[in-house]
Chain A
Amino acid sequence: MKLNLKVWRQKDRESQGKLVDYVLEDLNPHMSFLEMLDTLNERLILAGDEPVEFDHDCREGICGQCGMMINGIAHGPLQNTTTCQLHLRSFTNNETIFIEPFRSQAFPIKRDLRVDRSAFDRIISSGGFVSTNTGQAPDAHALPISHQVTEAAFDSAACIGCGACVATCKNSSAALFTSAKINHLVLLPQGKEERQERVIRMVEQMDAEEFGHCSNTEACEVECPQGISVLNIARMNYEYNRALTRRK
């Protein structure tokens, strides 16, 4: 199949980027989107041009490294998938595809489609941990936790931190990411100990990174590859209000 690409090319953080047109022919519709970009890069290298830089790692949809705006949608038209799990069969022959990096004040562009998502790392290091010396892995039944609670914690922990929520949000809010990282800990007994300091520190760090406000449009849940529920945000609000009123 044939695709007309409009790819965002930007040399570094400071320089002005622009969309560059590329036409790829003889593509296999069963290729993944990233394999299509690999093909483009091979051709660029053979022609002596700079390849298009993009982030990727596992290519199995679980690491959260890949991520780009495809036709104005985070991770492309397929819902609940990462970019690496998107295949060319989701597009039509001769289609024009816009490929842009995730855009946000908090995600500066490093080069082409690669953005700096270390703001997420700083939110995690501000409180997304349990500061107890756990030693050896405890016996599974040493600390009874009900099945529903375990599943709920797992649902929040499923966040892979790809940044699609921020890229999709009209305000570039990191509320979905931050709330998922708060909730998977607060649901479990080990994480309950520091719930107050954790939520306050992580929210303050989220603000310091210059993410916007959550407007509850719920777009983030729709485009999230893991389908992380927006109710995480409501629970973060609950935890935050609780911490403000009960903090000593």
Chain B
Amino acid sequence: MLTTLSRKMLLCLTGLFLGFFLIIHLLGNLQLFLPVEEARLQFNWYSHFLSGNALIKMVSYVLYLSIIVHVIDALIITSKNRKAAKPYQKDHRGRASKWYSRNMGVLGTLILIFLVIHFQNFWYVYKFGTLPVDSNGNKDLYQLVVTTFQEWWYVVIYVLSMVALCYHLIHGVHSALRTLGVFHPKYVRWIKVVGAVYAIMVCAGFAMMPIYIFITTG
């Protein structure tokens, strides 16, 4: 049986890995902002390169595992917390903390639903579906991205999910560093700022992609 602190450590390590992955994912996807024909060839080559690389394949399995462990661990933690806490008739405890800190589970669930949609949109089609090829002979994932984001409701779903992700990350980064044991006030102060800047930059970056594609190709 893991102690409460070890359970949080598991959540922290998987969360930090997922957070690190987001940076790489964002940097790679910045290629979508290139001029259309350049973006198509460049992005499709990049996708082909990633799917053919043995190291990336290994990392992707760690990634899938991290998502699963992060979710299951969060469920176990939540169920213990539910058993530990008792409801009040009048509850005004919310004044002492941020709403997103108290609702990481709700935000996480929204992100998980988004992930299912996201995997179904691109990952599943790329891996198991049939896609036309571009002039270099690579699967034309770029076209799929463009077609998807020409639907306004997909743009809305993606942007709102990034808002949920942003709040999840603002609390997540700061909380993960606490779990690791960073206790010195000097570091704690800037970790909060760095965490928030990271969360906003990553999520704004991702949210801009569907908006950009909707506006430029719609």
Contact = CB atoms under 8 A, between A and B. Distances in A.
Interface in B169-187: 171, 174-175, 178-185
B37 interface: no
Interface in B70-92: 77, 80-81, 83-92
A71 B90 contact: yes
Interface stretch (B49-57, B96-104, B121-129, B158-166): B96-104
Contact of B171 (A73, A211, A216, A240): A216
Interface residues of B, number: 40
B85 A170 contact: yes
A71 B174 contact: no
Interface stretch (B1-9, B111-119, B201-209): B1-9
A74 to B, nearest CB: 8
Contact of B93 (A170, A203, A234): A170
A219 B93 contact: yes
Interface stretch (A49-57, A102-110, A130-138): A102-110
A212 B81 contact: yes
Contact of B101 (A72, A218, A244): A218
B3 A207 contact: yes
A170 B81 contact: yes
Given A222-B97, A241-B180, A216 B86 contact: no
The B contact surface, by secondary structure, is helix
A213 B98 contact: no
B98 A217 contact: yes
Nearest to B95: A73
A212 B86 CA distance: 11
A168 B3 CA distance: 22
B84 A104 contact: yes
B90 A216 contact: no
Give the most central of B83, B88, B92, B104: most A CB within 10 Å: B88
A240 B90 contact: no
B133 interface: no
Contact of B88 (A72, A217, A236, A237): A72
A151 B102 CA distance: 32
Contacts of B83: 105, 210, 212
Given A172-B84, A214-B4, A234-B188, 15 more contacts: A72-B91, A72-B92, A105-B86, A168-B96, A171-B84, A172-B85, A203-B3, A213-B4, A218-B97, A219-B93, A219-B97, A220-B96, A222-B97, A231-B188, A244-B6
Interface of B: 3-9, 77, 80-81, 83-93, 95-98, 101-102, 104, 171, 174-175, 178-185, 188
Shortest beta-carbon contacts, A-B, top 10? A238-B181, A72-B92, A212-B84, A219-B96, A222-B96, A103-B86, A234-B183, A171-B81, A98-B90, A217-B97
